[in-house]
């Protein structure tokens, strides 16, 4: 039969973990209230490239995006 001291330690550790998880969740909620959803669920390299309205390739689109503003489009 386990002794009550070790049971109390296990219970205290479990309570500490639950409290830590609640505090972490509250911190995330507060951060989301202030900053909103800052990070997307996926990054651009994980998503398929959006089709170009002009029918150009991704390489052509990249070159077009790299044109300095003073050169026009």
For the cut 60, the answer to whether the pLDDT of residue 1 exceeds it is no
- Residue 25 forms part of a structural domain: yes
Contact 64, 56 (CB under 8 A): yes
- CA-to-CA dists, residue 59 to 42, 54, 70, angstroms: 22, 13, 21
Whose CA is closest to 61, among 49, 44, 48?
49
Task: Please state, in angstroms and rounded to a whole number, the distance separating the CA atoms of residues 38 and 31.
Answer: 10
Query: What's the pTM value of the predicted model, to 2 decimals?
Result: 0.42
- Residue 23 forms part of a structural domain: yes
Q: Residue 38 has what pLDDT?
A: 67
- Residue 4 forms part of a structural domain: yes
- Residue 58 forms part of a structural domain: no
Query: Model confidence over 7-42: pLDDT tens digits?
Result: 888 899 999 999 999 999 999 888 888 887 666 677
Structural domains of the chain, count? 1
Task: Please state, in angstroms and rounded to a whole number, the distance separating the CA atoms of residues 71 and 73.
Answer: 7
More confident residue, 71 or 63: 63
Return mean pLDDT, the chain. Answer: 81
Domain that holds residue 3: 1-36
């Amino acid at each position: 039969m386990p002794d009550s001291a070790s049971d109390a330690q296990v219970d205290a550790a479990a309570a500490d973990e639950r409290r830590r998880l609640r505090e972490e969740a509250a911190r995330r909620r507060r951060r989301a209230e202030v900053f909103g959803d800052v990070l997307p669920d996926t990054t651009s390299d994980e998503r398929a490239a959006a089709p170009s309205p002009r029918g150009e390739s991704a390489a052509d689109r990249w070159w077009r995006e790299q044109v300095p503003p003073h050169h026009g489009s």
